[in-house]
Amino acid sequence: MPKPAADPTASRMEEEALRLARHGSLRAAADVCRALNTKHPKFASGWRTTSGIALQMGDAATALTTVEHALALTPKDGRSLLQKAYALRALRRQNEALEIANKVRPLLNDDAAALDLLGTFYSLSGDQRLALEAYDRALQLAPRNVPITFNRATVRRFLGQLAAAEDDYDHVIAGRPNDYEAYKNRSDLRKQTRERNHVAELERLLARGITDWRGEVQIRYALAKELEDLGEYERSWTFLDQAARLRRRHLKYDIERDVETVSWIIDAFPDGPSPTVQGFPSQEPIFIVGLPRSGTTLVERILGSHSSVYSAGELNDFSQALVDAVITAAGTRSIPRQELVARSAKLDFEALGRDYLERTRPATGKTPHFTDKMPLNYLYCGLIRRALPNARIVHLTRHPLAVCYAIYKTLFKDGYPFSYDLGEIGRYYVSYRKLMDHWCATLPGAIHELHYEQLVTDQVGETRRLLEFCGLDWEEACLSFHRNPSPTTTASATQVRQSLYDSSIAQWRHYAPQLEGLRRQLAAAGIDVES
Asked whether 424 and 255 are in contact (CB, 8 A), the reply is yes
pLDDT score for 2: 44
pLDDT score for 86: 96
Least Cα distance to 388 among 490, 280, 246 occurs for 280
**CA angle 300-303-309, nearest 5°?**
110
Overall average pLDDT of the 490-505 stretch: 58
In sequence order, what DSSP letters do the residues of 413-425 get, joined into one string?
Answer: SSS-GGGG-HHHH
pLDDT score for 1: 37
pLDDT band at residue 183 under the 50/70/90 scheme: very high
Cβ atoms within 10 Å, residue 260:
15
Q: 494 pLDDT exceeds 60?
A: no
Q: 502 pLDDT exceeds 70?
A: no
Q: How far apart are CA 263 and CA 267, in angstroms?
A: 6
The domain 255-524 having CATH identifier 1.10.12.10: the answer here is no
Q: 447 pLDDT exceeds 70?
A: yes
Instruction: Express as a percent the part of the chain with pLDDT over 90.
Output: 88
Residues near 289 by Cβ (< 8 Å), separated by ≥ 6?
A: 296, 374, 375, 376, 377, 378, 381, 393, 394, 395, 396
**CA angle 142-163-149, nearest 5°?**
20
pLDDT band at residue 488 under the 50/70/90 scheme: low
Average pLDDT, the chain: 93
In sequence order, what DSSP letters do the residues of 166-183 get, joined into one string?
Answer: HHHHHHHHHH-TT-HHHH
- Kindly report the backbone phi and psi dihedral angles of residue 493, in degrees, each rounded to the nearest multiple of 5, phi listed first: -60, -30
Asked whether 446 and 394 are in contact (CB, 8 A), the reply is no
Least confident among 38-42, 99-103, 490-494: 490-494
Residues near 92 by Cβ (< 8 Å), separated by ≥ 6?
A: 359
- Kindly report the backbone phi and psi dihedral angles of residue 438, in degrees, each rounded to the nearest multiple of 5, phi listed first: -65, -45
Instruction: Express as a percent the part of the chain with pLDDT over 70.
Output: 95
Phi-psi region at 293: left, alpha or beta (left = phi > 0; alpha = psi -120 to 50): left
Q: How far apart are CA 411 and CA 184, in angstroms?
A: 9
Overall average pLDDT of the 512-524 stretch: 97
Q: Show me where the domains of the chain are located.
A: 1-108, 255-524
Q: 5 pLDDT exceeds 90?
A: no
**CATH topology identical between 1-108 and 255-524:** no
Least confident among 42-46, 106-110, 317-321, 441-445: 106-110
Fold for 1-108, please state it: 1.25.40
Identify each DSSP E strand in 268-418 by its residue range.
285-289, 309-311, 369-372, 392-397
Q: 428 pLDDT exceeds 50?
A: yes
Overall average pLDDT of the 38-52 stretch: 95
